[in-house]
Amino acid sequence: MKFKWILFLSIFALETTAQKQVLLTIDDKPIYKSEFEQIYWKNKKEKFATKEDLDEYIKLFSNFKLKVKAAEARGLDTAKKFINELSGYILQLEKPYLIDTSINEELIKEAYFRIKNELNASHIMVKLNGNPTPTDTLKAYNKIISIKESLIKNEQSFEETASEISEDPSAKNNNGNLGYFTAFKMVYPFEEMAYNTKVGEISDPIRTRFGYHLIKVNDIRAAKGKVKAAHIMIANSNDPTQKNIAQIKINEIHKKLIEGADFSQLAQEFSSDRNSAKKGGELGWIKSGGNYYKEFEDAVFGLENNNDISEPFQTPGGWHVVKRLSYEPIGDLESMRYEIKNKIQKDSRSAKTKSSFINKLKNEYDFKLKYKEDLFISFFDDINKDSIEFSNLKKANKTLFKFSDKEFTNKDFAIYLNKVFENQKNSINKNSLNKSLKNYINSQLIEYEKSQLKNKYPEFKALVKEYRDGILLFEISDQMIWSKAIKDTNGLKRFYEENLNKWTWPLRANVEIYSTSNKEIASKAHEMKKENKISSDSIVKISNVNSSLDLIYHKDILSFENNEILSNFEAKIGISDIKFLNNKHSFIFISEIIQPAPKKLNEAEGLIVSEYQQFLEEKWLNELQAKHKVEINYDVLYSIKEKP
């Protein structure tokens, strides 16, 4: 909620970067036409400005500026809470500027192509643990090479080899076949190799975090989109003597469906899948290559039209009949761009954009790496001690690398290493040292680029200011208006007493309402109430001998204005006649008429607090306008004519 509020209010906070025509001044501080224009046109759909719109917006804009100025005067812009919150937003705002957009666009198009085209592939895996030694890695690599050579010689089929040798546990049952999949279904290196292998061919070995793989591509086809489906399932019986019962039942159900029985009702009554049965058998959207059995997917995607019903079919889970409820093809690139972009950010393929971006930064800022082999030797002198000691570090102040106007020394890197390997100094070796140096260089380049974003990208600078001022506006408004209205109980009470007649009850009645669709029941209940010999509860009990829904009874204090039943009756004490309203026979009994009167504070607190907040805001704005000198240049304001 707060985030949305910030976005909504912060539309008045864009930083000027263009022309320098002064639109208004606050305490002689200029605010420019271009800043106001960006705000105005951002929120206006029409192409042309009107005087009325401009007058309204300049009032809102100047009030906004006064409130932000008040927040700054209170030091809210230096508060730790504000700094932390803004920093969190900036981290998110920076992300689009810290990737190679050209590479990212390539990845988006690549992923979209793969989403549109499903692969069916099989694999053979040689497993590697999470942190393999060089010996383990070489052993696994040699094994996968040996398997590939055997396959090339046609000593055994891929499927047989997968079943016998693959270290993927599922291969024993599926001969290594992974079914159909698209982008983001497999780890990226596997996906990349699969989509770059021709149908019928076997890939070169590819390493993933699971180990080494050989991939055989069996088929490629256009993606089938997604189907919203419902099913009725009869689970297989564990009793061998009853093994045909499931098929018999599903055939009977299918016959009823063909004869016009309601699918949803039969699913609720008979389906063994109780989770979907509660929803009439609905399963939601099903995509090809998902978590369903192949037989199930084939049946679902084999239905050509909405409301088509399949023939009974069997899966390892039992017997099914499916119904197609709806279908959606794969969307176009633009409709899927946001979804794909988000998936890329969470996927290992995003490393491509980061790597390319780092290289661009190195070129842009003239990166130079100065280290030589003796640097690493100097670190190794102390790796088994409690810390990497600067006193023993050879050439500690010598430049290790530099870019732009910044230089980083061996000592700087040593400080970084102490943090990285704080509790694991013995794990430092040449490989980890090289990796750490790469990470250190990358982090310094990224941090420097972050510091330059406001200078390089005016729109980023404006966006940060938008969030900054939005947060300040929220905080100052909370202090001066929203929370104050709730906490200031004396002020709220005083405001209520001064405006007592603004919140009044309309004409009301202490009333009993009786309604039924049965005219005879209504007449009997009316007669019993008219005689007034038994209680209302007894009348209801006698009337509802067949069903608790025959006579509906309600007792309350109600307004004649706001109740759709009561508004049709005369405001007088006693029993009314029976009237036919909204397909019901209804009558009322009024025991008391309550005349219009002011509401108590606790009876209208929500409304009163809301109006008190408006009162506080108006009072606060009047004080700000009296305290600060605001001057508007209307000639400049009215020169705004047409959206650029």
Read off the pLDDT of residues 309-345 as tens digits, 9 standing for 90 and up.
999 999 988 999 999 999 999 999 999 999 999 899 8
Which pLDDT belongs to residue 560?
86
65 vs 625: CA distance, rounded Å: 11
Which DSSP category does 499 fall into? T
For residue 10, is pLDDT > 50? no
Tell me if 176 sits within 8 A of 109, measured CB to CB: no
Q: What is the pLDDT of residues 110-158, one digit of tens each?
A: 999 999 999 999 999 999 987 788 889 999 999 999 999 999 998 889 9
Rounded to 5 degrees, φ, ψ at 270 are: -120, -20
For the chain, the average pLDDT equals 88
Tell me if 82 sits within 8 A of 472, measured CB to CB: yes
For residue 5, is pLDDT > 60? no
With bands split at pLDDT 50, 70 and 90, how would you rate the model's confidence at 232?
very high
Q: What percent of the chain has pLDDT over 70?
A: 91
Q: What is the pLDDT of residues 620-630, one digit of tens each?
A: 999 999 999 99
DSSP sequence for 138-207: HHHHHHHHHHHHHHHTTSS-HHHHHHHH--STTHHHHTTEEEEE-TTSS-HHHHHHHHTS-TT-BPPPEE
With bands split at pLDDT 50, 70 and 90, how would you rate the model's confidence at 436?
confident
The angle subtended at Cα 230 by Cα 224 and Cα 233, nearest 5°, is 115
Which pLDDT belongs to residue 130?
76
The angle subtended at Cα 184 by Cα 136 and Cα 314, nearest 5°, is 100
Which DSSP category does 576 fall into? -
177 vs 221: CA distance, rounded Å: 16
Helix (H, G, I), strand (E, B) or coil at 17: coil
352 vs 66: CA distance, rounded Å: 46
- Here the tokens at position 397 are 């102040």
With bands split at pLDDT 50, 70 and 90, how would you rate the model's confidence at 644?
confident
Which DSSP category does 77 fall into? G
- pTM metric for this prediction: 0.65
For residue 351, is pLDDT > 70? yes
With bands split at pLDDT 50, 70 and 90, how would you rate the model's confidence at 388?
low
Q: What is the pLDDT of residues 179-205, one digit of tens each?
A: 899 999 999 999 999 999 999 999 999
With bands split at pLDDT 50, 70 and 90, how would you rate the model's confidence at 18?
very low
- Here the tokens at position 19 are 């022309």
For residue 54, is pLDDT > 90? yes
Which pLDDT belongs to residue 276?
94
Q: Tell me the mean pLDDT in the region 259-265.
A: 93
Higher-confidence residue: 273 or 290? Answer: 273
390 vs 392: CA distance, rounded Å: 5
With bands split at pLDDT 50, 70 and 90, how would you rate the model's confidence at 523?
very high
Which pLDDT belongs to residue 3?
44
385 vs 426: CA distance, rounded Å: 8
Nearest to 587, CA basis, from 524, 534, 508, 544: 524
Which pLDDT belongs to residue 15?
42
Question: How many whole angstroms from its chain centre is CA 490?
Answer: 42
Which residues have a Cβ under 8 Å from the Cβ of 429 and sit 6 or more positions away? none
Q: Tell me the mean pLDDT in the region 3-12.
A: 44
The angle subtended at Cα 638 by Cα 637 and Cα 640, nearest 5°, is 80
Which pLDDT belongs to residue 517?
86
Q: Tell me the mean pLDDT in the region 249-272.
A: 93
Q: What is the pLDDT of residues 68-81, one digit of tens each?
A: 999 999 999 999 99
Nearest to 269, CA basis, from 281, 257, 258: 281
Burial class, 560, CB count within 10 angstroms (exposed 0-12 / middle 13-18 / buried 19+): middle
Burial of 111-123, coded b for 16+ CB within 10 Å and e otherwise, reads bbebbbebbbbbb
For residue 590, is pLDDT > 90? yes
Burial class, 411, CB count within 10 angstroms (exposed 0-12 / middle 13-18 / buried 19+): middle
Nearest to 272, CA basis, from 251, 295, 302, 249: 249
Q: What is the pLDDT of residues 525-569, one digit of tens each?
A: 999 999 989 999 999 999 987 766 689 898 999 998 878 888 899
127 vs 564: CA distance, rounded Å: 72
With bands split at pLDDT 50, 70 and 90, how would you rate the model's confidence at 462?
confident
Phi-psi region of 289 (alpha: psi -120 to 50; beta: other; left: phi over 0): left
Q: How crowded is residue 530: how many other Cβ atoms within 10 Å of its Cβ?
A: 12
For residue 16, is pLDDT > 60? no
Which pLDDT belongs to residue 7?
44
Tell me if 488 sits within 8 A of 496, measured CB to CB: no
For residue 364, is pLDDT > 60? yes
For residue 500, is pLDDT > 70? yes
Helix (H, G, I), strand (E, B) or coil at 433: helix
168 vs 204: CA distance, rounded Å: 18
Q: What percent of the chain has pLDDT over 90?
A: 66
Q: Tell me the mean pLDDT in the region 573-595.
A: 93
466 vs 641: CA distance, rounded Å: 24
- How many separate helices (H) and strands (E) can be counted in the chain? 25, 21
Q: How crowded is residue 388: how many other Cβ atoms within 10 Å of its Cβ?
A: 23
Name all domains of the chain by residue range, CATH numbers in brackets: 226-328 (3.10.50.40), 365-455 (no CATH), 504-598 (3.10.50)
- Here the tokens at position 83 are 């700094």
Q: How would you write 27-74 as a 3-class SS string?
A: CCEEEEHHHHHHHHHHCCCCCECCHHHHHHHHHHHHHHHHHHHHHHHC
